[in-house]
């Protein structure tokens, strides 16, 4: 609303929704503990991983099973202790240290819901736990002192599966965090687009994205993919060139932000000045939005993936990239030459969130369709799931050359394909919160809020 402070609205939403979120986490954890025969759960935030033969450490990332309890992402060797019927206990690792700044005592909207204690080392953490942990389970990294703590089980599969399965459906608090992660990501994407339009290098485009988000690279949920020109054909392109290309034809940028431990995952593709490639991007955008419109509770994600290939066949035909109809392109495997990856995945505390193949909390897996080894989600969608929708078409030399040598080759318009090779490919990705009747497009809403208009 005009004149209303967006930060105040966010703060009020977090304050209101965190308590019910934590109650939900406690209730489902209690059910999982009872089903598996444990009296309590100890969750570790993770440990620093040392660089080989050095006294430095790799960038720390808190484990998702810890972050679901509290928005603490930057404090290694901390713990949550949960015993049904009691408030969860948060043990923050805070050593005496003059080499590094110790963690600040936690503060904010969520702290009053915990029994918070500071622990200088593993010994102090153990002293803050019950005397006996003989019936408790532990989830997290192992460390030298752990065997002496006397836990019943370490990372037990049956319990972890039950805890992971329910994470797919998000609480109101989690949706608030995911919306804000998309807002931050949208700011970064708009800044990155401006840098690309000014002729920046891949390195400078990433710097623009970071500044737009207001985050350090290690605070992002994943390293951004910044692919200029033909490098857009490398799906997880990992290089950041520091020199601008002689001619900037296109940009494919796959980059997300993180808020309170929750990730956004956003991809956009831009044409510098080529009208034909720009028209192809617009056609892909219409296809992506049609797929988004098909998302609702009760839909089998494997059916969405199959529909993506049917629509890809239509796009390839409409763009004169193939010499056959959509059905033949799918049946002959031609669409998989241009779209070799899955259509999306669960999103939350992890970019590729857990539980995508689970048939039930108790066990069983839902198989990928034949011919789709890279699909990351096979479950039927439920109200509260958050998924990505990321169709694309790519001009990948290895896949095209393989197709040229077999029966698929006669179905491809090679002259037309050759004209698009310098652009690499197109991917458009939004984050969707599934509802009973459709979905909330977290990404498009964020772009509208940040820029005042939809972004492609």
All residues at 6 or more sequence positions from 2 whose CB lies less than 8 Å from its CB, including other chains: none
Could you tell me which of 340, 337, 173, 350 has the C-alpha nearest to residue 256? 350
Q: How far apart are the first and last CA of the chain?
A: 24
pLDDT tens for the chain, residues 1 to 456? 444 688 999 999 999 999 999 999 999 999 999 999 999 999 999 999 999 999 999 999 999 999 999 999 999 999 999 999 999 999 999 999 888 889 899 999 999 999 999 999 999 999 999 999 999 999 999 999 999 999 999 999 999 999 999 999 999 999 999 999 999 999 999 999 999 999 999 999 999 999 999 999 999 999 999 999 999 999 999 999 999 999 999 999 999 999 999 999 999 999 999 999 999 999 999 999 999 999 999 999 999 999 999 999 999 999 999 999 999 999 999 999 999 999 999 999 999 999 999 999 999 999 999 989 999 999 999 999 999 999 999 999 999 999 999 999 999 999 999 999 999 999 999 999 999 999 999 999 999 999 874 444
Q: Tokens at residue 181, please? A: 């992660």
3-class secondary structure, 15: helix
**pLDDT tens sequence across 209-240:** 999 999 999 999 999 999 999 999 999 999 99
The class level of CATH for 169-451 reads alpha beta
Q: Tokens at residue 346, please? A: 């669960």
Domain covering 6-167: architecture:
3-Layer(aba) Sandwich (3.40)
Radius of gyration of the chain from its Cα atoms, rounded to whole angstroms = 24
Side-chain half-sphere CA neighbours of 39 within 13 A: 8
The pTM for the full model equals 0.96
Strands of the 40-44 sheet, one edge to the other: 115-119, 89-93, 79-82, 40-44, 136-139, 153-154
Q: What does the pLDDT read at residue 5?
A: 86
Residues of the chain with CATH 3.40.350.10: 6-167
d(C-alpha 156, C-alpha 417), whole Å: 51
Q: Tokens at residue 16, please? A: 């209101």
Residues of the chain with CATH 3.90.230.10: 169-451
DSSP characters over 348-367: SSSSS-S-TTBS-TTS-BPP
3-class secondary structure, 67: helix
- Per 3-state DSSP, the chain is made up of helix, strand and coil in percentages (nearest 5) of 40, 15, 45
Could you tell me which of 305, 285, 274 has the C-alpha nearest to residue 381? 305
Q: What does the pLDDT read at residue 4?
A: 62
Alpha helices by DSSP H, 214-265? none
- Within a 10 A sphere around the Cβ of 100, how many other Cβ atoms? 8
């Amino acid at each position: 609303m005009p004149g209303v402070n967006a930060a105040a609205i966010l703060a009020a939403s977090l304050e209101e929704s965190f308590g019910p979120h934590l109650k939900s986490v406690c209730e489902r954890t209690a059910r999982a503990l009872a089903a598996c025969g444990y009296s309590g759960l100890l969750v570790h935030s993770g440990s620093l991983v040392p660089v080989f033969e050095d006294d430095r450490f790799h960038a720390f990332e808190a484990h998702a099973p810890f972050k679901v309890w509290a928005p603490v992402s930057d404090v290694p060797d901390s713990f949550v202790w949960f015993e049904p019927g009691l408030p969860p206990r948060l043990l923050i690792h805070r050593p005496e240290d003059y080499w590094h700044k110790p963690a600040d005592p936690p503060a904010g909207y969520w702290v009053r819901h915990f029994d918070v204690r500071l622990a200088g080392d593993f010994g102090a953490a153990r002293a803050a736990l019950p005397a006996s942990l003989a019936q408790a389970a532990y989830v997290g990294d192992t460390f030298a002192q752990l065997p002496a703590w006397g836990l019943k089980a370490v990372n037990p599969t049956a319990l972890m599966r039950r805890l992971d399965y329910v994470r797919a459906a998000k609480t109101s608090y989690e949706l608030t965090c995911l919306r804000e992660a998309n807002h931050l990501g949208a700011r970064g994407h708009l800044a990155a687009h401006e840098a690309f339009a000014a002729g920046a290098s891949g390195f400078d485009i990433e710097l623009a994205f970071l500044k737009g988000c207001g985050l350090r690279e290690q605070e992002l949920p994943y390293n951004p993919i910044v692919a200029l020109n033909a490098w857009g054909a490398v799906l997880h392109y990992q290089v950041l060139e520091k020199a601008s290309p002689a001619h900037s034809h296109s940009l494919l940028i796959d980059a997300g932000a993180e808020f309170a431990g929750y990730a956004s995952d956003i991809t956009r593709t831009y044409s510098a000045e080529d009208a034909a490639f720009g028209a192809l991007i617009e056609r892909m955008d219409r296809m992506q939005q049609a797929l988004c419109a098909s998302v609702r509770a009760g839909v089998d994600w494997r059916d969405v993936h199959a529909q993506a290939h049917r629509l890809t066949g239509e796009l390839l035909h409409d763009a004169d990239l193939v010499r056959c109809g959509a059905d033949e392109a799918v049946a002959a495997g031609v669409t998989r030459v241009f779209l070799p990856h899955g259509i999306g995945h669960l999103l939350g505390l992890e970019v590729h969130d857990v539980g995508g193949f689970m048939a039930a909390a108790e066990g069983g897996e839902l198989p990928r369709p034949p011919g789709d080894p890279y699909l990351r989600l096979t479950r039927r969608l439920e109200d509260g799931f958050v998924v990505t929708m990321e169709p694309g078409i790519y001009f990948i030399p290895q896949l095209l050359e393989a197709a040229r040598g077999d029966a698929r080759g006669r179905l491809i318009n090679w002259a037309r394909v050759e004209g698009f090779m310098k652009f690499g490919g197109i991917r458009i990705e939004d984050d969707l919160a599934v509802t009973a009747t459709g979905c909330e497009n977290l990404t498009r809403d964020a772009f509208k809020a940040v820029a005042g208009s939809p972004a492609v």
